[in-house]
Amino acid sequence: MTVALTIAGSDASGGAGIQADLKTFHRFHVFGQAVITLITVQNTRGVEQVYTLPPELVEAQIRAVIEDIPPGAAKTGALGSEEVAARIAKLAERFDFPLVVDPVMSAKNGARLGGGPFAPCFLLTPNLEEASAMAGFEVNDSDSMRRAARKLQSLGAANVLIKGGHLRGDAVDLLYADGEFHEFRAPRIPTRHTHGTGCALSAAITAELAKGTPLVEAVRRAKQFVTGAIRSNPGLGSGAGPLNFFA
């Protein structure tokens, strides 16, 4: 059985974080393992509290999982602190499987959820805000997305996928892999129910990589899944509701 690992925070409302990752792994017929980095008190209206686990506890979880059931691929999400991020970056130097880093810096309501250096990785998946912060300049159109992708690759990511969900018009994600750019376009869906889209996208890519799917095809399948999950969202909650993980 194919195995994938997520290293991320817990969302008690079930729409993002560890919960979204595991649901996505299951949907892609992959056995999911989960290392928790932080615990949030949140619902669709926002995040009330964040408690980050001690770095040594996060590291111990990762070591225990990998030593017994090595994953075919892994991903990170919200890490909570620079200390946790640094521990994971050090461990990642010895990973013999692809690592997808979703550099979750904040929740949709602005609550801070991350920080620190990103681990050396096979794929980095920032949104426009995260890409801007990491590249050091504003990323808000196709040209700046391409410049940011090249810059982030030079900082340690083998491949970079910049998510353009906040662009005007179509939702266009840009992948920079092996020196080539690939665009993944989908029509924008007018809805407030988009909680966990980044988590679901990176988890779907991770699941496909664990199965041995080539990167470009893995991103294509993940994009298709997330688009369908947004379109068929269940309409739960009075705020930014979750996706349909059965899509």
Q: Domain holding 63: CATH number?
A: 3.40.1190.20
Averaged over 176-192, what is the pLDDT?
94
Residues facing residue 163 across a β-bridge: 127
Q: Does the annotation count 194 as an active-site position?
A: yes
Retrieve residue 165's tokens: 């969900």
Burial degree of 91 (CB within 10 A; 0-12, 13-18, 19+): middle
Averaged over 113-118, what is the pLDDT?
70
Domain around 94? 3-231
Whole-angstrom distance, CA of residue 164 vs CA of residue 126:
9
Averaged over 67-92, what is the pLDDT?
95
Q: Specify if 139 maps to a domain.
A: yes
Q: In terms of pTM, does the model score above 0.85?
A: yes
* Annotated catalytic residue within 197, 206, 213, 227: 197
Q: Specify if 181 maps to a domain.
A: yes
What pLDDT does residue 109 have?
56
* Annotated catalytic residue within 24, 199, 206, 213: 199
* Annotated catalytic residue within 23, 75, 108, 163: 163
- Whether 184 and 176 have beta carbons less than 8 Å apart is answered as no
Q: Specify if 239 maps to a domain.
A: no
Answer yes or no: is pLDDT of 111 > 70: no
Q: Specify if 238 maps to a domain.
A: no
* Annotated catalytic residue within 9, 14, 196, 241: 196
Q: Does the annotation count 115 as an active-site position?
A: no
What pLDDT does residue 165 have?
78
Collapse the DSSP code of 180 into the 3-class scheme (helix H, G, I; strand E, B; otherwise coil) and give the result.
Answer: strand
Total number of domains in the chain: 1
Answer yes or no: is pLDDT of 194 > 80: yes
Q: Specify if 247 maps to a domain.
A: no
Q: Residue 228: how many CB atoms within 10 A of its CB? A: 16
Q: Which residues neighbour 243 within 8 Å (Cβ) at sequence distance 6 or greater? A: 15, 20, 193, 194, 195, 196, 197, 200, 226, 229, 230, 233
Q: Specify if 46 maps to a domain.
A: yes
Q: Does the annotation count 44 as an active-site position?
A: no
Predicted confidence band of residue 115 (pLDDT cuts 50, 70, 90): low
* Annotated catalytic residue within 194, 206, 213, 227: 194
Q: Does the annotation count 163 as an active-site position?
A: yes
What is the DSSP secondary structure assignment for residue 118, as one 8-state letter?
Answer: P
The region of weakest confidence among 64-78, 95-109, 224-238 is: 95-109
Q: Specify if 207 maps to a domain.
A: yes
Q: Does the annotation count 199 as an active-site position?
A: yes
Predicted confidence band of residue 112 (pLDDT cuts 50, 70, 90): low
Residues facing residue 209 across a β-bridge: none
The alpha carbon of residue 42 and the mean position of all alpha carbons in its chain are separated, in whole angstroms, by 18
* Annotated catalytic residue within 198, 223, 227, 241: 198
